[in-house]
Structure 1
């Protein structure tokens, strides 16, 4: 009996000791990621989390900026603005691609950089608004405004400071001005009228006449637009990649089924442009009046569909007629100023509105000139004197008449 009691006591002590030891090891295990953060934690390690080597390994430099003529905007499908172009040069120096995230204000840029959502703020931020962030790389001559990084002593800050030279801002601005000039387009300038007395606009008139019905436009209007785009040079090429008589972008060619190998073929280039114009016509089906719609389509061909829609939204907001070009033109120009391109209804930011407004004006003026010299195609009348669509049959008393 005594022996049984001692055995039970021994087992009790043994089990208690085991429970005590197990309790000592009962603290939850902390699982960490390979870069040192706790799994499930949103914290960012302090030791240069987004180092230069990380950026090069990932192959991408992420910058935050704001829309504006000096910072960032899209022009013919390409990024522009001095701050953007400088960021592009720095990314090229690192051998990585560039990704741009547009923010609505300085506070958003600062917050997102602090939260580790980007590598650089590529915008001239005043020191007073930099919070705990460090200024590095691009800055103004006073040193009071410049780009921001999260760690002033990190590899990225050192690389930026070693790369940037004060003269780079002026040189980049000079480069941008050249890209925006007509001198950046490689083309020969031909006469706007091949034979005025004979009513011949260009050597491509038959192609304009053949494919204008795709766009449901007068062929002379297509010719006027073509001269504005390329001065009738089939080999014209812009720095942005626009090609041929109608300056078709490669992405637009893909959209309308034109092989990139055929971008400089005059006939195929004109056909592709007419298909694209037809697509834009469809996107402006809410603009019921034909001449008004033509102006909106021309503006979109030059400045981009979404910018034109932004101007229409502004016109509506400020009590104007968003389907009337004269009203919308005012806001096309307005999108060059912060008051308008920072408006909440604007989705695509700054645009070079004066270029687009002048583009529409010049084509309309040249079309008026062509209309007085060259004959329209059968079935078309100019929009200066009536409908620009082919005559169509309408049903009346069970018979069809030409209207």
Structure 2
């Protein structure tokens, strides 16, 4: 296949024949004639990734690819790329740019092994690059979750073993359901459009009252204050006198036992509640210290909502099924699959997904950040 060709409307596996893992592909190059090996090293990104044990990916920054305004990157596209790097057992170096042209130019010049863009296939072909759909041509999984359907992975050459391996990986990931679950978690429609006006009004009116407390407390525990505020909004809409039928109370909606354990004497006191909530959330983060970010945040949030014991039970079940219990997509998938039979699971998925949406909204709204 010529280097300027792209997968177009064809499934990515039709364009790229091999499904060999990267290390197997590395061995296969040894069987090529010497001049072929030298040519590939001069032209392809595959050998660079293997020899340097590093995958450099450049991406446009948008709600579908990556949210780049937090301490720990997250996003549908970012998680997909991160998963791919893990499958290769190489270190990921992830870089963001503001537009598709910049991303394509970095691939063209060899400054990135590949790019994740929302550029059209025509734009990719005009640069004499090769690209394929980041969802194995299943745009509906993105469209259904309010994500950009024009998400592509772009390489310098279609016949580079790296692009072939990546194409096979994407289609396998689609088949095993990971892409669908990732898109569900990063659903841009989790909060309805008409609700954002109310949320914006609430945050504009109430955030100034508690912002200093969120900031100082978050600094104490080395937590992003925007995330702490997002938790507070999900818990009580930033109303310190909130109380639930089950007896949780205050701005961070602490149970009596949790408040007592965190040293909170008055749950309706907003400063004490924020302190107690931050301290408890920090304990949850420490509990999952063996899990890398951003997954650690999501695990800690589920534990904050359901209790760490419930999370441990699910992890044990995942391990018994032969699945990685420390993979967020595995935990999220389990909660989603069993939410019909356990309402707490449905509440937990909504809880963490909405907090993610609130965090992104607060971070990306200048009038909230600069209040």
TM-score tier, shorter chain, comes to 0.3 to 0.5
Higher relative contact order (CA 8 A, sep 6+): 2
Q: 1 or 2, which has the higher helix percentage? A: 2
Larger radius of gyration: 1
Query: TM-score, with normalisation over the residues of structure 2?
Result: 0.43
Q: TM-score, normalised by structure 1?
A: 0.40
